[in-house]
């Protein structure tokens, strides 16, 4: 792995899942990381103040920073892939906006991921897009209060066959509509290179051409979604090009580890895992 000036974080919703949630921030710190990200970790309805305080305290006590957080995306294990475009789930998303933004803001987190939602056959595609636009504008307005950006992600159709946004272009089209037509400035592309590679996109070229549109990056090695080095991508090339592009956000490790999570980071030298060390090398 090249000594590239990139900032890495650990997604605690997919890594260290062998541990209780409140123990995972400390495990990430023990592995040498100083930044973490999360899917919305609480079941519906909303968590109590005590649950939010406990998670906040576990992150602060571990000495790591929360750098990205998903809005409530529904029951991911059951196949949900977001709420923003779905009429029956819209109220749930809207009720989560202030809570998610407030929690993120309390920890200095400035990236909030809003998954678009699966196709709903009971309404038309334009109706879903109109609702998504309304909800994303509400989310962006709330996020702007804490200086945060709302990011929109493309998923692969193999694992998420009902999810409409399956390419970088579709995601960027939605972002451009929000920015140009609706005047929303704090919206950007979440470039999950695993999903894009699964859909056949040349991610090295995408990084070269579109890194200026990235609000966040996530990685895993296709086709198995495990750590870099277990699949098909040349990560030396991909990450070097990402560093050379001028991207200075975080790269979220959002992979399913082969073996224990703590043993899955050998591909990334320890001196590159913490943001402070990386910044000193720039």
Among residues 254, 263, 279, 280, the one annotated as catalytic is 254
The pLDDT of residue 278 is above 70: no
* Strand runs labelled E in the chain: 7-11, 35-38, 65-70, 111-113, 149-153, 187-192, 214-219, 250-253
pTM as predicted = 0.94
Q: Is the pLDDT of residue 91 over 70?
A: yes
Q: Is residue 37 part of a domain?
A: yes
pLDDT at 39 over 60: yes
Q: What is the CATH number of the domain that holds 110?
A: 3.20.20.150
Residue 4: count of CB within 10 angstroms of its CB: 17
Q: Is the pLDDT of residue 50 over 80?
A: yes
What is the extent of the structural domain holding 190?
7-281
Residue 113 lies in a domain: yes
Residue 254 among the catalytic residues = yes
Whether residue 1 is contained in a domain is answered as: no
Average pLDDT over residues 45-72: 97
Please say whether the beta carbons of 10 and 255 come within 8 A: no
Tell me what the mean pLDDT of segment 181-197 comes to.
Answer: 98
- Flag whether pLDDT at 204 surpasses 50: yes
pLDDT at 5: 81
Number of domains in the chain: 1
Q: Give 279's pLDDT tier (boundaries 50, 70, 90).
A: very low
Contact assessment for residue 192 and residue 160, using Cβ atoms and an 8 Å cutoff: no
Which stretches does DSSP call E strand in 129-257?
149-153, 187-192, 214-219, 250-253
Which has the higher per-residue pLDDT, 280 or 223? 223
Q: What is the pLDDT of residue 145?
A: 98
The pLDDT, as a whole number, for residue 4 is 61
- In this structure, is residue 2 part of a structural domain? no
Q: Is residue 269's pLDDT more than 90?
A: yes
- pLDDT the model gives residue 275: 86
Look over the chain and give the mean of its residue pLDDT values, rounded to a whole number: 95
Average pLDDT of the segment spanning 123-146: 98
The percent of residues above 90 in pLDDT, for the chain, comes to 95
Distance separating alpha carbons of residues 27 and 279, to the nearest angstrom: 22
* pLDDT of residue 45 exceeding 80: yes
Q: Looking at the domain assignment, is residue 15 inside a domain?
A: yes
φ, ψ of residue 9 to 5 degrees: the values are -140, 160
280 is catalytic: no
- Please report the pLDDT score of residue 277 as a whole number: 42
Marked catalytic residue, from 153, 159, 204, 208: 153
């Amino acid at each position: 792995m090249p000594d590239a000036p990139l900032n890495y974080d650990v997604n605690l919703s997919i890594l260290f899942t062998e541990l209780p949630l409140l123990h995972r921030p400390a495990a990430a710190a023990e592995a040498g990381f100083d930044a973490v990200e999360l899917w919305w970790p609480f079941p519906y309805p909303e968590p109590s103040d005590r649950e939010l305080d406990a998670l906040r305290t576990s992150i602060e006590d571990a000495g790591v920073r929360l750098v990205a957080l998903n809005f409530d995306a529904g029951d991911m294990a059951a196949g949900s892939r977001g709420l923003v475009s779905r009429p029956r789930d819209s109220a749930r998303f809207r009720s989560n906006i202030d809570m998610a933004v407030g929690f993120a803001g309390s920890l200095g987190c400035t990236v909030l991921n809003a998954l678009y939602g699966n196709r709903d056959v009971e309404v038309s595609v334009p109706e879903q897009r109109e609702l998504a636009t309304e909800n994303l504008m509400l989310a962006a307005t709330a996020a702007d209060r804490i200086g945060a950006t709302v990011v929109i992600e493309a998923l692969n159709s193999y694992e998420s066959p009902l999810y409409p946004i399956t390419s970088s272009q579709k995601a960027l089209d939605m972002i451009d509509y929000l920015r140009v037509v609706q005047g929303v400035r704090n919206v950007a592309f979440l470039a999950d290179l695993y999903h894009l590679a699964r859909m056949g996109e040349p991610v090295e070229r995408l990084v070269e051409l579109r890194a200026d549109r990235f609000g966040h990056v996530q990685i895993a090695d296709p086709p198995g979604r495990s750590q870099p080095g277990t699949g098909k991508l040349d990560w030396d090339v991909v990450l070097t090009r990402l560093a050379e592009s001028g991207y200075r956000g975080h790269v979220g490790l959002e992979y399913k580890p082969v073996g224990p999570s703590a043993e899955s980071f050998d591909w990334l030298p320890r001196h590159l895992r913490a943001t402070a060390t990386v910044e000193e090398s720039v």
